[in-house]
């Protein structure tokens, strides 16, 4: 694992597809994991909370998107006509403002969606879509955003939908099993997909390759990986490259195979295994899910600020994670050997909704004071702990420093961190405040004296140094 990625801890993903034009998905049932757990895969896909899945939802007759689209645009309005409006407003986009916001939030890398499942390319590729040749941006957003991000010292990565491309297919995905039979087959599509990956690698040398769903089994995956690592020796690849064989496809079409695929797919997604890891990857990517303890394998929690990745006009402030919970999510993930990849969903024209900006700036304000307990740290011997008065705590470690990250704001007086056997020579300090704090050991606990109440913030961080 390259040190830059292991130490980065926080990145921004950007979903900006044609779906931001209608910008519609049903809300009110929670995030995708909650819906899967409570209602199952068929109900989730018919009521998909991800606005970027608009086209698939539109193909499910009777779904909320199906009804919305007929009322708003008419039954005969082709989804791909949204490309006209998307490109019409593309001149309004300012990539520098995005990059500046991401930097202020504390991100150390950006993963840009260069093509989502609808097949719309976010750059004018040398390899146009053979079905829809004009299905791309008139402006090279990949080039421009890569430059703006790297100018501000952040790393740049690319998402690309390797397996799914709905411009080549007509039937909807209605359950977990139908994913196995709803992607373009044959060498032609595999070559098309690989040609884009190679173009992205050769032109912009991305620091991250972020595939989704899987990879065409007619493509030479390991030649692609070899080419990537030879081009970008410190690059990383995620886990969503599983190749789905023809026997697996056939089995999923049988009644027993369909039932098994649905049960397994739902269970895996709920438990943090978004796709099966059938080969090489540098890290795994649970979606809207976290783990209960430290994972030996590097991982990345990927989620939207709301319940959708793409912009959804139906989402209200209460549908978005609060600044408090966002800070605590980052701390929890980092304490367990993970990175947080937080998604931003811009509108047509590239403006980022104010509610998303608010959350990013709130996280950035906390990071301004406490980032040394996040960046370049490693997990301690355990991730979770508590104080004697019931506040949750997390731990990170860097060199000879132990960081105790307490959820909430302790009051004045005695703060007891349970089961932290600090050496007698250790110094305890509060990040953001000068000077050492009085403390003493009490058995295996650490007792800190607080004469003043710490500043109100989602997580209060104590440095114990040197910690032996």
Q: What DSSP string describes 307-363?
A: S-SS--TT--GGGSPPHHHHHHHHHHHHHTTEEEEEEE---TTSPPPHHHHHHHHHH
Q: For residues 182 and 176, give the distance between their C-alpha atoms in angstroms, rounded to a whole number.
A: 10
Mean pLDDT, to the nearest integer, of 372-395? 97
pTM of the full structure: 0.96
- Say whether pLDDT at 80 is over 80: yes
**pLDDT tens, 27-72?**
999 999 999 999 999 999 999 999 999 999 999 999 999 999 999 9
**SS3 (DSSP) at 179:** helix
Q: For residues 115 and 243, give the distance between their C-alpha atoms in angstroms, rounded to a whole number.
A: 19
pLDDT cut 90: percent of the chain above it: 87
Q: Are 44 and 143 in contact (CB under 8 A)?
A: no
**pLDDT tens, 97-107?**
999 999 999 99
Q: Which helix (H) or strand (E) holds 269?
A: helix 255-270
- Say whether pLDDT at 277 is over 90: no
Which CATH code for domain 378-465?
2.60.40.1180
Structure confidence at residue 276 as a pLDDT band (50, 70, 90): low
- Say whether pLDDT at 230 is over 80: yes
Residue 180 has a pLDDT of 79
Structure confidence at residue 243 as a pLDDT band (50, 70, 90): confident
* Higher-pLDDT residue of 256, 51: 51
**The CATH number of domain 3-373, selected from 3.20.20.80, 3.40.1410.10, 3.20.10.10, 3.40.50.300:** 3.20.20.80
- Among residues 160, 82, 83, 155, which one has the least CA distance to residue 114? 160
Q: Are 196 and 163 in contact (CB under 8 A)?
A: no
| Contacts (Cβ under 8 Å, ≥6 apart) of 262 | 41, 175, 176, 177
Residue 256 has a pLDDT of 85
Q: Are 261 and 180 in contact (CB under 8 A)?
A: yes
Highest mean pLDDT among 113-127, 180-194, 274-288, 430-444: 113-127
Structure confidence at residue 278 as a pLDDT band (50, 70, 90): low
Q: Are 170 and 59 in contact (CB under 8 A)?
A: yes
Q: Are 345 and 310 in contact (CB under 8 A)?
A: yes
Helices (H), 162-245: 187-204, 221-231
* Eight-state DSSP code of residue 443: T
Mode of pairing for the β-strands spanning 427-430 and 436-437 = antiparallel
Q: For residues 207 and 110, give the distance between their C-alpha atoms in angstroms, rounded to a whole number.
A: 9
Q: For residues 418 and 62, give the distance between their C-alpha atoms in angstroms, rounded to a whole number.
A: 55
What is the rounded average pLDDT for all residues in the chain?
95
| Contacts (Cβ under 8 Å, ≥6 apart) of 279 | 221, 222, 241, 242, 243
- Say whether pLDDT at 261 is over 90: no
Residue 148 has a pLDDT of 98
Token pair in block for residue 403: 């960081």
Cα separations (Å) of 447 from 59, 401, 426, 428? 60, 17, 12, 10
Q: Where are the domains of the chain?
A: 3-373, 378-465
Backbone angles phi, psi at 448, to 5 degrees: -110, 135
- Among residues 34, 63, 214, 190, which one has the least CA distance to residue 53? 63
Token pair in block for residue 265: 């797919």
Residue 252 has a pLDDT of 75
């Amino acid at each position: 694992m390259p040190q830059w990625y292991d130490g980065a801890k926080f990145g921004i993903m950007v979903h900006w597809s044609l779906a931001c034009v209608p910008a519609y998905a049903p809300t009110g049932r929670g995030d995708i994991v909650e819906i899967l757990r409570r209602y199952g895969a068929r109900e989730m896909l018919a009521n998909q909370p991800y606005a970027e899945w608009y086209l698939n939802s539109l193909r499910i007759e009777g779904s909320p998107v199906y009804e919305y689209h007929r009322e708003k645009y008419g039954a005969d309005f082709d989804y791909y006509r949204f490309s006209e409006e998307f490109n019409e407003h593309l001149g309004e986009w300012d990539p520098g403002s995005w990059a500046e916001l991401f930097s202020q939030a504390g991100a150390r890398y950006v993963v840009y969606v260069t093509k989502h499942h609808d097949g719309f390319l976010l750059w004018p590729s040398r390899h146009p879509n053979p079905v829809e040749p004009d299905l791309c941006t008139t402006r090279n957003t990949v080039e421009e955003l890569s430059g703006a991000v790297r100018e501000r010292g952040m790393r740049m990565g690319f998402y690309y939908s390797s397996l799914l491309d709905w411009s080549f297919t007509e039937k909807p995905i209605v359950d977990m099993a139908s994913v196995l039979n709803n992607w373009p087959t044959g060498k032609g599509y595999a070559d098309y997909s690989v040609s884009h990956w190679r173009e992205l690698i050769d032109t912009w040398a991305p620091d991250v390759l972020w595939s989704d769903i899987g990879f065409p089994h007619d493509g030479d995956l390991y030649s692609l990986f070899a080419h990537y690592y030879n081009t970008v020796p410190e690059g990383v690849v995620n886990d969503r490259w599983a190749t789905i064989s023809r026997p697996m496809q056939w089995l999923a079409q049988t009644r027993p195979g369909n039932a098994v695929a649905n049960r397994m797919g739902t269970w895996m997604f709920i438990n943090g295994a978004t796709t099966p890891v059938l080969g090489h990857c540098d890290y795994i990517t649970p979606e809207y899910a976290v783990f209960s303890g430290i994972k030996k394998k590097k991982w990345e929690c990927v989620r939207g600020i709301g319940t959708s990745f793409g912009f959804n006009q139906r989402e209200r402030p209460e549908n978005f994670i609060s600044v408090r919970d966002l800070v605590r999510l980052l701390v929890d993930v980092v304490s367990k050997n993970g990175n947080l990849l937080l998604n931003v969903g811009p509108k047509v024209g590239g403006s980022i909704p104010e509610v998303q900006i608010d959350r990013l700036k709130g996280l950035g304000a906390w990071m301004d004071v406490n980032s040394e307990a996040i960046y370049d740290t490693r997990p301690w011997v355990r991730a979770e702990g508590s104080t004697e008065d019931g506040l949750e705590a997390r731990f990170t470690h860097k060199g000879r420093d132990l960081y105790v990250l307490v959820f909430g704001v302790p009051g004045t007086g005695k703060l007891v961190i349970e089961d932290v056997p600090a050496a007698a020579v250790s110094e305890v300090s509060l990040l953001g405040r000068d000077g050492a704090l009085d403390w003493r050991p009490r058995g295996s606990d650490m007792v800190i004296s607080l004469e003043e109440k710490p500043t109100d913030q989602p997580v209060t961080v104590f440095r114990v140094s040197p910690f032996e």
